[in-house]
A and B are shown apart, each in its own frame.
Chain A
């Protein structure tokens, strides 16, 4: 394995590409992504997305709010930017999770989750902790499955000709739908 500090910078692009791939996946093949885990019943974009272009113009766009318009984000991607933070909402039979993933370090931020079952105030803290950890680990396992799928496509010889081409086509189609373009 490479030196950690070197690898952190050298492969920073991998996180950007993963989140951009994930946005595309959520919009175009949602069911197959959810099927990675039988417990997952829905995956959607949540109220926050950050787009960054670290080359040239160095632009950074933050989009917030329920059901935000993403035209600006798509235009920025067309200019060479990538998704650097992605808000997601994930639904299982028992839970709904809302959180943001950071491209740079895959940190999980602002996770909001309901308790799996209602606990009284007197309930043992240990029971609550173990229940929450169980949920959190399942959530991370799903994120890891998404990342593994992305990586298998990214390392495939078909990445440029097929997967990246899909991404570009999706982007150009969406751009052409945007009024005024």
Chain B
């Protein structure tokens, strides 16, 4: 679901660390270096990378196209190729029979089967078009926060990994404990109390 959808979901992050030099140049370089790679006609089963917010299927980060007001605005795109197990089984069975017939043998060794399965899988993956999943994000650089418009676990994990790789900065997900630590302005004594908290009992 994109940022302009009628119903949006959002995960918040705290961005740890600062960029030395010009942030826009640095972010552009990180985005360009980790831009989504097209995997059509390629045996890869998935790919992930940054893409443009406005045109996620033709990523480009020229100039300050990803700077909106005081925010950096772009998207994480994850492309996956669905390879149904039944299809793989069918193609593998056909290829096995063909190989046996060509070699006039009655069986294939375990290594031969494994190599053939890999070959069949790669051939199929090169023919299957990838399904793109686009997840928008807004990076409020000045206030060290990032809003990611997807609550999917896999997408959030990929975001955290790719963000660190692209910008050498850590993302800390906001959940109850980090909200308490990072957003509530606790004093030292309150931090100690928080660390020692145990669950309450509603039942008297």
Contacts and interface: CB of A to CB of B under 8 A. Distances in A.
A112 B6 CA distance: 6
A14 B69 CA distance: 35
Contacts, number: 123
B9 A110 contact: yes
A17 interface: yes
B73 A14 contact: no
Given A7-B177, A133-B71, A78 B202 contact: yes
A155 B193 contact: yes
B54 A148 contact: no
Interface residues of A, number: 55
A62 to B, nearest CB: 17
Do most interface residues of chain B lie in helix, strand or loop, or is the interface mixed? Answer: mixed
Interface residues of B, number: 43
Interface of B: 3-4, 6-12, 54, 68-69, 71, 73, 138, 140, 147, 151, 172-181, 183-186, 190, 193-195, 197, 199-204
Given A4-B172, A147-B183, 6 more contacts: A13-B200, A17-B199, A108-B10, A111-B9, A136-B147, A147-B179
27 contacts: A10-B177, A11-B176, A11-B177, A11-B197, A18-B176, A78-B202, A80-B202, A105-B173, A106-B175, A107-B9, A108-B9, A109-B9, A110-B7, A110-B9, A111-B10, A126-B68, A129-B4, A129-B68, A129-B69, A129-B73, A132-B4, A147-B176, A151-B184, A151-B186, A154-B197, A155-B194, A171-B202
